[in-house]
Amino acid sequence: MGLVALLSGILSFLVISQATRELGRFGATDYIGTLIVVAIVRELGPLLTALVVVGRSGTAIAAELATNQVMGEVRALEAIGIDPKQYLVLPRFLGSLVSVFALLVLFDLVAIMAGFAAARFNGLPGPRYFQIVLQSLSSRDVWLTIFKAIAFGAIVGVVPSYFGLSVRRASTEIPIAASRAVVAALVGVFLCSALFVALS
């Protein structure tokens, strides 16, 4: 949570500071709204949030499930009539969906507030900043962000789980599974992001 807020705050402050200065020279400060909504809230927000969660939780999910597999816990679950996908994967999948969505909301709120600070710092009045941002924000942007949060959350939950459960019986496979899971999840998030851009 702290990392997401920090990333969001710094990114938004830097981008809006530069934009306010440069666009102000051409009297085009109205485009700050488009910049913060399209570039930060809609594109970078979901992407960076997903990257943070992949880095922090994707490795943990893959390593945990790989350990479960190597220790014979997955086999034992099946033997006592419990579906490992239901017991081990489903909670992680739902947790990823909720956490990516909640962190994305945090990212966007911090980004907008940091943008406000940057705009004020560079001489743009506060009410004007919020007016520009609200004018640029459409319901389509909100829905796109929600869909991205769901899609990226699903990738973060499913891909590391798949790689974690794919190991066989050797503990040496655990770090391999974790690194493969992170790489695959990152590729998945970027491809999914590109797909959203292509379709929207």
Partner 1 sequence: MTMPAPLAFEALPIARHASAPFSLDVPERRTVAVLGDEDSGIGRLGGYALGLERPATGRALVFGTVVASLPEPDRLAFRRRVGYLPAGDGLLQNLSLRDNVALPLRFGSGASPRDIEGRVTVMLTALRLMSAAALRPAQANEEERRRAALARAIAFDPALLVLEQPFDGLTARVASELLEIARGGESAEGARRTIFITGQEIPPILLRRVDHVYRLTRAGVLELETV
- What stretch of H or E contains 119? helix 90-121
Q: Which residue among 28, 71, 94, 134 contacts partner 1 (CB under 8 A)?
A: 71
For tokens 């999948």, name the residue. 93
Instruction: Determine contact, residues 60/40, Cβ cutoff 8 Å.
Output: no
CA distances for 47 relative to 44, 51, 144, angstroms = 5, 6, 12
Q: Which residue among 31, 38, 87, 183 contacts partner 1 (CB under 8 A)?
A: 87
Q: Is 166 in the site for partner 1 (CB under 8 A)?
A: no
Q: Among 38-46, 71-79, 89-97, 149-157, which window interacts with partner 1 (CB under 8 A)?
A: 71-79
Q: Is 170 in the site for partner 1 (CB under 8 A)?
A: no
The whole-angstrom separation of Cα 31 and Cα 114 is 17
Q: Is 75 in the site for partner 1 (CB under 8 A)?
A: yes
x/- track of binding to partner 1 for residues 30-69 (CB under 8 A):
-------------------------------------xx-
Instruction: Determine contact, residues 92/157, Cβ cutoff 8 Å.
Output: yes
CB of 180 to partner 1, least distance (A): 23
The whole-angstrom separation of Cα 95 and Cα 98 is 5
Q: Among 28-36, 78-86, 119-127, 174-182, which window interacts with partner 1 (CB under 8 A)?
A: 78-86
Instruction: Determine contact, residues 56/182, Cβ cutoff 8 Å.
Output: no
- List contacts with partner 1 (CB under 8 A): 67-68, 71-73, 75-83, 87
